Amino acid sequence: MSALLELQSVSQRYGDKAVVNDMSFTLQQGEIACLLGSSGCGKTTVLRCIAGFEPLAGGEIQLAGRRIASVASSVPAHLRQIGMVFQDYALFPHLNVQENVGFGLGKLGRSEREARVMAVLDVVGLAAYAQAFPHELSGGQQQRVALARALAPKPQLLLLDEPFSNLDVDLRERLSREVREILKSQGTTAILVTHDQHEAFAMADKVGVMHQGRLQQWAPPYELYHEPASRYVADFIGQGAFVPGKVTGPRCVTLELGEYCSAVPRQFADGDEVDVLLRPDDVVHDDASPVTAKVLGKVFRGSEFLYTLQLDSGQQVLAQVPSHHNHAIGEPIGIRLELDHLIAFRRQPA
């Protein structure tokens, strides 16, 4: 399998300010990727560079083995065969759904175009709305029209810029699943940009976490959660707390909560001071445990509580506890470490 899209050390700047810095990744045919990061991290700029709306300040971009952008030359945006779904959808208010979707099919004959439009509308489940105007549709329907319009010309690559950010939470979850199914059924290679990690995990085969214009990690969601490559990613993805520990022997790390003994990454030596990431499910409530912690705060989540606990040293950790264990704030409860995979970083001087 060959890479459909390849970015090699892509950089982009506005004036003196570097917005994207030395960004490289590859995307395989049929994969869905997601660029994840807080606002202003440069993720939308990367998308716009790929689309051809922004010139590159460094590096190059290849699509299907052909160089489409470098500092010296670039293929004009309209010849790249890259589709885009815009954040505000940018539907044409003066055209109805059918005309919007058929807009990029100017090269086809009339009957072919109509057939393609209806086929795509069928895929997104809007065949009944072909004659409607955009303002007559709900937000979710408009979003699907925008998707259909971008899919209709069969782009080699589809870009989606914060595609669900204008929708409410319920709709966002449902649509992100639907859109993934549609893209997969069409075999479309796609990149979406979002600041919402749930959306990224629901949609993407590969997720790229960006921070201050740099790609922090490019990996499948599972890996991102369980093997974060940097402190930033560990902090940004999921919940958890860093607690101090000390490497004791080749296989063990000692923490205030207890000892973890399995495999310690090779870069650490005996006696190293480390910070260990504890996810809420790594800390288990156990009345029999000798270690206790005081309940500082709790969030009820239906089937479970998320407790914020304070250890004797003042260190705080999060614990996910089945919701029939209802403890009052201030109450000490017994906890036990149940860590089956160590995520640790060398201690940073305070």
Partner 1 sequence: MSRLHTLVIPWLLACLIALCTIVPLGVVMLSALTPDPAIWSHLIEFTLPELFKNTAIMLLGVGAGVLLLGVSLAWLVAVYDFPGRRIFNWALMLPLAMPAYVMAFAQVGLLEFTGPVQTWLRPHFDTMRWFPEIRSSWGLVLVMSLAFYPYVYLLSRNAFATMGRRALEVGQSLGLSRSQGFWRIALPMARPWIAGGLILVVMESLADFGTVAVFNYDTFTSAIYKAWFALFSLDTAKQIASLLVMLVFVVLVLEQRSRGRRAYAQAGRAAPQPRLPLPGWRGWVATLAAGSALLLAFVIPMLQLVYWASLDFANQFSSDFLGYAWRSVSLSLIAAVLVTAIALVLAYLVRRQGSQAMRNLARVATMGYAIPGTVLAVGVFVPVAWLDNQIIAAMGWQGEVTAVLKGTLLAMLLAFVARFLAVAYSSVDTAMNRITRSHDEAARNLGYSGWALLRRVYLPLLSGGLFTGVLMVFVDVMKEMPITLMTRPFGWDTLSVRVYNMTAEGMWDQAALPAIAIVLVGLIPTILLSRQRDVA
Stretch that binds partner 1, among 113-121, 147-155, 169-177, 338-346 (CB under 8 A): 147-155
Stretch that binds partner 1, among 4-12, 31-39, 104-112, 295-303 (CB under 8 A): 104-112
86 scored as a contact of partner 1 (CB under 8 A): yes
Q: Give the integer Cα–Cα distance in Å for 185 and 326.
A: 45
**Which residues lie closer than 8 Å to 83 by C-beta, 6 or more apart?**
104, 150, 151, 153, 155, 157, 158, 159
Question: Residue 122: how many CA atoms within 13 Å on its side-chain side?
Answer: 8
104 scored as a contact of partner 1 (CB under 8 A): yes
65 scored as a contact of partner 1 (CB under 8 A): no
333 scored as a contact of partner 1 (CB under 8 A): no
140 scored as a contact of partner 1 (CB under 8 A): no
Residues 58 and 11: beta-carbon distance below 8 Å: yes
Q: Which of 28, 62, 70, 103 binds partner 1 (CB under 8 A)?
A: 103
**Which residues lie closer than 8 Å to 227 by C-beta, 6 or more apart?**
219, 341, 343
Q: In 3-state terms, what secondary structure has residue 168?
A: coil
Least spacing, CB of residue 104 vs partner 1, in Å: 3
The CA-to-CA distance between both ends of the chain, in Å, stands at 47
Least spacing, CB of residue 174 vs partner 1, in Å: 23
151-170: contacts with partner 1 (CB under 8 A): 153, 159
Residue of 198, 144, 148, 205 lying closest to 175 (CA atoms): 144
Hey, what's the torsion of the CAs at 112, 148, 193, 68, to 10 degrees?
10
Tokens of 131: 């004659």
Nearer to partner 1, 134 or 213 (CB): 134
Least spacing, CB of residue 20 vs partner 1, in Å: 16
271 scored as a contact of partner 1 (CB under 8 A): no
Q: Which of 39, 65, 78, 328 binds partner 1 (CB under 8 A)?
A: 78
Number of residues engaging partner 1 in binding (CB under 8 A): 29
88 scored as a contact of partner 1 (CB under 8 A): yes
324 scored as a contact of partner 1 (CB under 8 A): no
Least spacing, CB of residue 232 vs partner 1, in Å: 29
Tokens of 163: 């595609």
**Which residues lie closer than 8 Å to 159 by C-beta, 6 or more apart?**
47, 50, 51, 82, 83, 84, 85, 190, 191, 192, 193
Residues near partner 1 (CB under 8 A) are 51-53, 76-79, 81-84, 86-88, 90, 92-95, 103-104, 106-107, 133, 135, 149-150, 153, 159
